Structure 1
């Protein structure tokens, strides 16, 4: 789950690890998704929505998927020939199954041991707004054991990339917003510009992607997942959801408890938190991760936090130069600090970036981190992941806090985190300001009475989806359904990082072994 502001709920463990690995290798930006064609607004066509007559839901579900060879993205871990892609038509509006349809993009690699095949394993890597078609091949090396008996399947949720992806503005407008809009406004003029930018983004989404905006919420995506299950020929859904994908998985379990097979939720979004609650959770989580980073460097957390907060204040007044000619402002600096906190392997990168900014007065490293996180490549093109994330988040969230309410939150949020608190408090008002579509609910419903056991994994040092949310998810799923697994460690997500967690998850998926509720991996 990506932090709010750059995006609402958070990046995924696999994607975050790939991001940090790319930066450690010296790359300035994450590789673009091969499924997206970068275009300016003038050249952007409306989303891929087909008009009536359209097939009914039953007819769509019974139509076999046509799988075609597709290459793995740059940086993928498997040969392109191992991957096949298909498109599943689903109703744009699930309440009107005979109406217009959109295509859901899928990618699959079949099980390597066909005689022991258990079915398909569907992944969602979070965001919201992350492309599973792009991410799964990059991350597949982490799931080779599961691939022995499962077909690995990724998808672009509706409103994302190749699945009627939402687009709201072009590269020049995106660059201007990152350059000129202060995400922690200090004056009336900065506050007005901050709120106006949110409204402008919403207007752009309505202009370029208006047909899909009312239909990109999490519940709609969960219904698509059941259509995917049927199209794959599976009697129940086996699913691995990480970060925002845990909210999607919990929503699926609530809507289709009888279709739950083996489901794992890792790096769990708190289902009891509303808009302000999510921001408060992330202020707590990122501050906790920052303090753990500072302790690891032998620095007093309180003094280190004050040092970084003072650096941000100086950058707010006097942005830092970079070799590219672009300046590092406070907004980009905050995102640059956030990015490497997703994984402990990113801490050396953060140390080097902060040293460069604080001691050398240059912003090159923090800007590179922010660009990668914001989906900007070396040529200045932005992907549309943040557009999709905004659309999905605002389709879900009913709350629309005002600027006055955000200002009232500032003292408490600053106490939680002098570094991240102001940014996240203001974000509660700016995120869905002037959004053209009303939100569906305050918090997601994830209760799933009668469902099979679901593994819920929380990491004690998770910055983006703090550990406490995992316990709440397990409780909300219901007694006998939510099985809590605690990972004592750092980073956003545990599978592939903790040998203990990885073994438990593999045994659950491959052998059906359900661990004891409350098991702890140290």
Structure 2
């Protein structure tokens, strides 16, 4: 999750946008309402600027290759068990196929989270998908509970500033009591402000929305590109609608067999591996590494910084100060992409001198906070979806018992991710299952892409997804790289393999490795 409760979500901020910030120091009603979900014709029109819940900003620039971004709203049942009952709006965005080449249909993207706005994210990454646009309409959406699609609302911006400054790695009984109190207050705010929709933001609900979307878009099959949590959503869709799967790619793969504890422990190992790789890379450069003399020294100095910040926060972005939690969050954000390793180095160098602004910018990006102090609803939706999906409810005594295992997995991130397991304590809605069901016998082939250096969705999850989808369904592609996901690394081998399948139906040979 992108907050002190954990890191199980993809960082959805465009690397290019975030780098620019570091260097610089669809308008329809989508609330509950009436209207039948079937037989819809979307009223496409120019896209408005993203809403505050989507992250704010300006209306999207025209996509590469010409044309325009168009937005519309699809009506879906609030409760899929009552398909003729109350409806909610699902915000959509598209760029029509540019050609040349015969149009295949729509290619629906989910970029992860859960809680990320596809309406605001797709335009940011459109240059990466220009080749796919030659034969597909590029389409994304704000899943229910996200952005313009009846967003989950919890605390205010000022309350979230305080919430994200809290000590998320409590060391004694008093700190644990405060942490639990803050968690309870956040969860109570979610219930007070969004209690009506909280039971209906499960991944199975979003998958049913996608099948309705397929019909509304006029496609016989659902062609799909899922990243991070989007791979779980794609797997659940394949389970529910195996015979409606078209060409599907899952990149940065969530392990569908894990419960929240296993997932958090796996992420602890994944982020520690990414930190190890960052440290080795820094000291291997021709010039001296400014944050350590050896890879171990880099990690020791970071650990010392975090320990110091626990008692003595330093200057951040006024009036906020950089706390241990914010620094940990910012470091984790930078490990999502190798392109952010240099800003991470600069941020650490500055922090050692008492200036925490760069690390705080990175932390803000993880939490969905813009430079005006406004938050998207990424964190709120992330918690709501995870807690609606996950049956497990942990308590402080259980976390304390598990701390040694988490610290062994990651001296830097172990405590942070262990305490994140309390996210759903006292959540007002019961969780659906121990883990998602993605078995999909009869589905068309699914291309599953795993990255050996992925911190957020460790590489082992790709093989687990292949096995869980079922015999003869999935083909695995391995990328020996760094960062979260593979396609957006711009590795030509990965992109050629994915494009070959989505554009021409040509799967890579099983076991193909790109580096």
TM, length-normalised to structure 2? 0.92
For 1:116, which of 81, 102, 116 is the aligned residue? 102
Q: Report the RMSD for the aligned CA atoms in angstroms.
A: 2.0
1:409 corresponds to:
402
Aligned partners of 2:81 and 2:190: how far apart in 1?
Answer: 23
> Mean Cα displacement is larger for which, 384-393 or 297-306?
297-306
Task: Tell whether 2:46 aligns with 1:61.
Answer: no
Aligned partners of 1:132 and 1:406: how far apart in 2?
Answer: 34
For 1:339, which of 333, 336, 350 is the aligned residue? 333
Task: Tell whether 2:417 aligns with 1:424.
Answer: yes
Check the 8 A contact 2:5/2:421 in 1, yes or no.
no
1:379 corresponds to:
372
Task: Tell whether 2:472 aligns with 1:480.
Answer: yes
Aligned-residue offset at 1:257: 0.3
Give SS of 1:90's match.
strand
Aligned partners of 1:76 and 1:6: how far apart in 2?
Answer: 31
1:17 corresponds to:
15
Aligned-residue offset at 1:72: 6.9
Give SS of 2:480's match.
strand
Give SS of 1:199's match.
helix
2:274 corresponds to:
289
Give SS of 1:234's match.
coil
Write the mapping of 1:427-438 to structure 2, written as runs, cut at 5 A.
427-429=420-422, 431-438=423-430
Aligned partners of 1:93 and 1:18: how far apart in 2?
Answer: 38
Aligned-residue offset at 1:418: 1.0
Check the 8 A contact 2:18/2:365 in 1, yes or no.
no
Task: Tell whether 2:241 aligns with 1:256.
Answer: yes
Instruction: Describe the superposition over 1:363-391 as per-residue Cα deviations: whole angstroms up to 9, x where unpaired.
Output: 12111211222122222222211001110
For 1:174, which of 138, 150, 160 is the aligned residue? 160
Aligned-residue offset at 1:506: 0.6
1:189 corresponds to:
174
Aligned partners of 2:163 and 2:374: how far apart in 1?
Answer: 14
Task: Tell whether 2:267 aligns with 1:267.
Answer: no
Instruction: Describe the superposition over 1:221-242 as per-residue Cα deviations: whole angstroms up to 9, x where unpaired.
Output: 0000000001011010000000
1:5 corresponds to:
4
1:217 corresponds to:
202
Aligned-residue offset at 1:415: 1.2
Write the mapping of 1:123-522 to structure 2, written as runs, cut at 5 A.
123-179=109-165, 181-298=166-283, 300-322=294-316, 324-358=318-352, 360-429=353-422, 431-497=423-489, 498-522=491-515
Give unmatched runs, 5+ long, in structure 1: 28-33, 37-44
Aligned partners of 1:376 and 1:115: how far apart in 2?
Answer: 40
TM, length-normalised to structure 1? 0.91
2:55 corresponds to:
none
Are the structure 2 counterparts of residues 23 and 136 from structure 1 closer, same or farther at C-alpha, using a change threshold of 3 Å? Answer: same
Aligned partners of 1:277 and 1:302: how far apart in 2?
Answer: 27
Instruction: Describe the superposition over 1:146-199 as per-residue Cα deviations: whole angstroms up to 9, x where unpaired.
Output: 0011000010000001111100111111112123x2100012111111111111
Give SS of 1:488's match.
strand
Aligned partners of 1:167 and 1:398: how far apart in 2?
Answer: 22
1:78 corresponds to:
62
Give SS of 1:50's match.
coil
Aligned partners of 2:59 and 2:69: how far apart in 1?
Answer: 14
Aligned-residue offset at 1:63: 2.1
Check the 8 A contact 2:2/2:379 in 1, yes or no.
no
Give SS of 1:62's match.
coil
Give SS of 2:196's match.
coil
1:30 corresponds to:
none
Aligned-residue offset at 1:216: 0.1
Instruction: Describe the superposition over 1:11-63 as per-residue Cα deviations: whole angstroms up to 9, x where unpaired.
Output: 25x74524543344336xxxxxx879xxxxxxxx9x81126xx53xxxx2212
Aligned partners of 2:49 and 2:265: how far apart in 1?
Answer: 38
Aligned-residue offset at 1:8: 5.0
Aligned-residue offset at 1:143: 0.5
Are the structure 2 counterparts of residues 24 and 325 from structure 1 closer, same or farther at C-alpha, using a change threshold of 3 Å? Answer: closer
Check the 8 A contact 1:104/1:156 in 2, yes or no.
yes
